[in-house]
Amino acid sequence: MQNPAAEKKCLTCGKTLQGRTDKKFCNDYCRNAYNNSLKSSDSNVVRNINNALIKNRRILQHILGEEEMAKATKEKLSTQGFVFKYGTHTYTNKKGNIYFFCYEYGYLPLESEWFLIVKRKEE
């Protein structure tokens, strides 16, 4: 009868592994391929979020222009590709209003899906 532990399969190609039960791959090629795919999916996540943050910043910058403050609707932001779930940090003012920032540009949710857009002053 076969020991179920001997039925382990290679994590990359799915071939049944023989011999040592602590093995996860059938050879170096499969191990390297697996580790490389982990690394690249890792950097994909970072790259996608970074791109979204940079795009968010550019949208806020564009709407604000040279003004100190501007207003925009949620629809306008979304249409331009703004992704609300990504930001770099928040800022709470003395009144307790929470501003959401993408780098130096931020927004404050107002009533009826309007947003106040601001730029953080240099300190």
Using the rule CB under 5 A, which residue among 6, 9, 13, 42 binds Zn ion? 13
Contact indicator for 13, 24 with CB cutoff of 8 Å: no
| Eight-class DSSP state of 100 | E
72 near Zn ion, judged by CB under 5 A: no
Using the rule CB under 5 A, which residue among 26, 59, 60, 77 binds Zn ion? 26
Q: How many residues bind Zn ion (CB under 5 A)?
A: 5
Q: How does 60-89 read in b/e, with b if 16+ C-beta sit within 10 Å? A: beebbeeeeebebebeebeeeebbeebbee
17 near Zn ion, judged by CB under 5 A: no
30 near Zn ion, judged by CB under 5 A: yes
- Residues lying near Zn ion in the complex (CB under 5 A) are found at 10, 12-13, 26, 30
